[in-house]
Structure formats: C-alpha cells, structure tokens
A and B are shown apart, each in its own frame.
Chain A
Amino acid sequence: MKPLYQYHLSRLVKARIKLSQNLLLTLGLSLGLGLFACSSNAADEVSTNSSDIERGAYLMKIGDCVACHTAVGGRELTGGLPFETPFGAVYSTNITSDKDTGIGKYSYNEFFDAMHHGVGVNGNLYPAMPYTSYSLLSDEDTKAIYAYLMSTKPIKQANLDNDVSFPFNVRFGLKAWNLIAHDAEKFAPKKDKSEPWNRGNYLVNALGHCGECHTPRDSLFAMEQDKHFQGAVIEGLEASDITPAELNRQNWTHDDLKSLFTEGYSRKGTVFGGMYPVVYHSFSHLTDADMHAVSSYLLDTDETIEAKPLTFNGHQRELPGYNLYMGYCAGCHSQNGEGRPNVAPAMAGNATLDKASPHNIVAVMLKGIKSQHYNTTTSFYAMPGYADQLSDEQLKDLSNYLRVTWSNQPGDVDVDTIHDLKEVIFEHD
C-alpha cells in the first residue's frame, strides 16, 4: 500500500497538468460570452474618525496586507512583491493613499469591489489578491480598513508590470473565473458554536485568509472547499493541514498556538517559509481575546487542552540516519532533540516531523530556513540547506530517522519519493 503522501504527490502533479487546460477553457468562455460579474456597495464615504482608523489599522494587520504589499527591502504597502504562479509572476501593488500610483483615488465603492469581488479600477485583479476570502469581511470592517489605508502617507511608487504569459495576461478571463470559482457569500456565524469560535472563524477565514494557502486548489485554481484547510503545496513548501482533526491529533494546545503566532516558535515547533511574514506582520498583533478566538476555531474548542508528553522514542544507533543526525543536526537540535532557544526548535513534538508527508522535512533539509527576527529578545539564526551535501539516499535515511525517533510516523520514505519531492521543492528556483 502506498504511503498517503505519495497519493498527495501524484494528485498534485495531475492537478497541475489539468490546471492549465481548464484555465484556457475558462478564458475561452469569457472571451466568447463577455461574462461580467461585479456588484457595488451603497455607501461611498471615508471615515476620518480616529477610532475607525485605529480599528482599521488593526484589521489591516490581521488581514496581513503588509506581508504581500511590501517588497523585500521596500517601503510598507508600496507593493512590488512577486508571486510566482503557474502562469508567471504577479506583482503586488501600491496600496498607500497616493492618488497616482496607490489607491488614493479609489472611492469606497471601488475599494469594496476590489476587496470583495476582485475588481479594481483598472480591471480584474488576479486571485493572488485573496478577495475570495476578504469577501467574507463585514461592510463595517471593510470601511475601517478603507479609512486606515486612506489615512496612510501617500508614497509614490509605480507598480510593476506583471509577467504573466498569454492567454492568462488577458484579464477579461478573470471575470469568468470569478463567476465559476468565486462565491461572494456573506459571513454567517454558526449558532451552535461559541462566540470565540465564531470570532475565530471570521478572523481566520475572512481577514487571515488562511485558506488561500492551507486549502488545496482544484484544476481551476479555486479553493476546494470540501478539503478546507487540508494543506497544499505553495512555492515548494507544504502549507500544513490545519484542520481541527489534524491539530488535535498532533496535540496542539491553545498556548502552543499562541506561542507560535506570537513568537514564531512553540512546544510543537516553529514557523518557516511563508508563515514567518504572516506571524511577524499579522498574527503576532492579535489581541489576547482574538488570539484565543483563533485557537478556539482552529482547535474546534475553547476549552483547555491537556499538553501530552512530547514524543521521543529513543535513539536507534543501528539505523543509517543516526550518524547523519549526529553529524549534521545535533549541533543545533541537540543530541536528544531538545533544540536550543533562539537557535533551533526541538525535534521532540515537532509538528513538521509528525506529518504523514515528509515534504517539509525534505524541503527544509534541502533549502534550509532563513533567519527570523520577531522582537528584541526573540530571533532565530538561519538553518543551512544541505542540497549540495546530502545525497538522495542520505535524505531518505535522515528523514526516516527523524520520523521514527521523534514522531509516530513510519520510516517508510524511499529514494523515489525523495526524488519526486525534490522536483516539486525546486520547481520555482
């Protein structure tokens, strides 16, 4: 029987092939039928009330606008960050209040349409802008975010041209995509759930737009809602399965999630890749009440969860991965996997090891992790990548050693799997 991760891997490859075919079909439909889908909001006013602006600033942080709308080394909210898509690079735009290059000329109605329907003043937005999630935002919160953005200092910085290939550069096709793949539903609290749970649902799914990365996408590149939060591969890394079932299986507690979202590390490991800017710019700013709401929703309970002992099954010196661990890893992660504060996370209890797929274990070993800074007392130095040092055989041995020693996952990773994973992991390099 094939391991579960092999199923996911083959599914991903098939989906990618089908993706291009279906998008071409969608584009053709749109050009032929001239489909149009957009609605506008009644109110068209900007609040200058300081409490609205302050609330908008908070919502903007939790919505994580900065992470995407700020280039590496660039000025905040001026855009320019590239997003690698299967169709080419899409660049985020300037959303400061500058009237020429930013969104200063946007009326509230136009801003609402961009946020909720993906329709900007210059045409349809690529769904790299998560309007498919922001559409759940309340009108009140959209107004507060608008009020904040209009209060920002206008910074003149021209937007970069997207590098999207034909026919995907014809934005008209996005109208058809929206009609098929975007359901602009209103957020509706569930009556059988607690208030924190519902607040968490709103924060996670509307503002936090977590599903955009953590939900797999179908052949039309739309989120597969029946697989909500079951994990997906983004730019070579696996955005984890964050369903309550999986998080509870791994014994995440409210405190663990709070620690992870506040300082980037926890009893269950650290964030890396695209989650670092999410934590740094966004979730680390959650109020305590909202943090509890988020964890209540993700864990599907607002009751205390008991933290069970972390898994360490003891070393097995006879396994080929043992010497590799001692030679390459133990210096930072410690001999028994305890880790070192501000240097390297513990292996025991590490959620990355305790996943069915070895994808992220292999990705991290190959590419390392960039250094992370959270505040004056919490930073992590970079983990080196070992793509030039470790053979596929060694990657297999080390992956299996980590899994059987510090998780209850089987040591069933084979060389073919390593080979297949490397193709996905290095695809965008």
Chain B
Amino acid sequence: MSQSIKLTINNQAIGPIDVGDGTMMIEFLHEYLNLTGTKFGCGAGVCHACTVIVDDEQGMSEVVRTCINGVERFNGKRIRTVEGHAKQNAQGEITALSPVQQTFLEHFSFQCGWCTSGFVNESTALIERLERKPIAKDNVEQVIEDALGEHVCRCTGYVKYYAAMKDLILKTEGLTLS
C-alpha cells in the first residue's frame, strides 16, 4: 500500500509522490530524493545522526529523528536537512558554509563525519532558539549539553563539538545576554 506525499525540503517543493506506507523518512530522503547527507546510524533513534529540522508556519522548529519516524509524519511539512544550510550560487555551488558548519570545521569537531548531519541540524536549531530567546553567558555550557547531550559521536569525543558551539554562541551577537 502506498500514499501520496507532498512536502517541502530545503525550500524545494517535493511531490505529490507515492510512497509506501510506513517508509521511514531517512529511506525517503535517500532512496526517493537522493539526499544522502542525513546519515543512518543506529536505526533505533538512539544516536541522533539522522536528525533533521521541521519548521512550522509560525517560524518555530523542532528536531526529528528520521530513522524512527515515518514519512507520514512529515507530510505537508517544511523540512531542512544538512544539504540545505550552506549558501549556494545559481549553479548549485557552495559559496559559504553556515556559521554552525564553519565553526565545526574550524574546531576539527568531526573526524569520520557520520554523526555530523545530526550535530549540524541540532546545533542550527539551537542557534535559532537563542536568537529568539538569548541566554545568560553562564548558562551556555548547560544549554549546549542539553541540546547535544543525546547525540552520539565515536571519533572526536564530543569536546570539539561542544567547544565549537560555545565559541560560536559567545561570539555571535544577540545569542547571549550582556
């Protein structure tokens, strides 16, 4: 059995397209759209590598794991994946990374890169939350821990991801209260 799915991914309208019932979102991204930047890790919602961002019409966002959520959950929604953050020119060439991507590069945050799609999306959503609601500088480490604590990384051991985010948050105007 299949059903018609229509959604927006990285500002691009997708569908209507027939998708088998209960197809996991990550399979849809990989096999139907060739968006393979979102990585399949544990397949059980534990490692968070497959996290994407879902935006609502009020400008609020939530992060969702695509390995344990079916495409039905995303029908009609606006999605951002790791492919959608960098700026691109008309030819589709990347002209600038997002601040989160850039800080991860500068801090050598990842090694094999398998967990990076999840870290980038979760961190991007965190930065956007802080833009709406800045926090005291003293709370930065805790907020990072709260946001990224469930993400599993087996290479660089988290410190470089966390340090990168702390650096970005503290140096970006408007994310912390002066």
Q: A interface vs B, CB < 8 Å?
A: 317, 323-324, 326-328, 330-332, 335, 340, 343, 381, 384, 388-389
Contact = CB atoms under 8 A, between A and B. Distances in A.
Contact of B70 (A330, A340, A381, A389): A330
Interface in B111-131: none
A384 B70 CA distance: 15
B75 A323 contact: yes
B67 A327 contact: no
23 contacts: A317-B1, A317-B21, A323-B72, A324-B72, A326-B21, A326-B70, A327-B70, A327-B74, A327-B75, A328-B69, A328-B70, A331-B24, A331-B67, A331-B68, A331-B69, A331-B70, A332-B68, A335-B21, A340-B44, A381-B44, A381-B45, A384-B45, A388-B62
Q: Across chains A and B, which 10 residue pairs bring their CB atoms closest together, nearest first? A: A327-B73, A331-B68, A327-B72, A335-B22, A323-B72, A327-B70, A326-B70, A326-B22, A326-B72, A330-B22
Interface of B is mostly: loop
A331 B22 CA distance: 8
Interface of B: 1, 3, 21-22, 24, 44-46, 62, 67-75
A323 B3 CA distance: 10
Given A327-B71, A327-B72, 9 more contacts: A317-B21, A324-B72, A326-B22, A326-B72, A327-B70, A328-B69, A331-B68, A343-B44, A389-B62
Contacts of A328: 69-70, 73
User: Chain B CB within 10 Å — which of A326, A340, A384 has the most?
Assistant: A326
Nearest to A323: B72
Contacts of A343: 44-45
A330 B23 CA distance: 9
A332 B69 CA distance: 8
B4 to A, nearest CB: 11
A327 B1 contact: no
A327 B22 CA distance: 7
A381 B42 CA distance: 12
A389 B22 CA distance: 19
A2 to B, nearest CB: 33
Nearest to B44: A343
Nearest to A328: B73
A311 B67 CA distance: 27
A343 B62 CA distance: 23
B47 to A, nearest CB: 10
User: Chain A CB within 10 Å — which of B21, B24, B46, B67 has the most?
Assistant: B21
A335 B73 CA distance: 14
A260 B61 CA distance: 38
A328 B75 CA distance: 12
B2 to A, nearest CB: 11
A381 B46 contact: yes
Contacts of A389: 62
Contacts of B62: 388-389
A326 B72 CA distance: 6
Contact of A332 (B21, B44, B72, B73): B44
Contacts of A331: 24, 45, 67-70
Contacts of B45: 331-332, 343, 381, 384
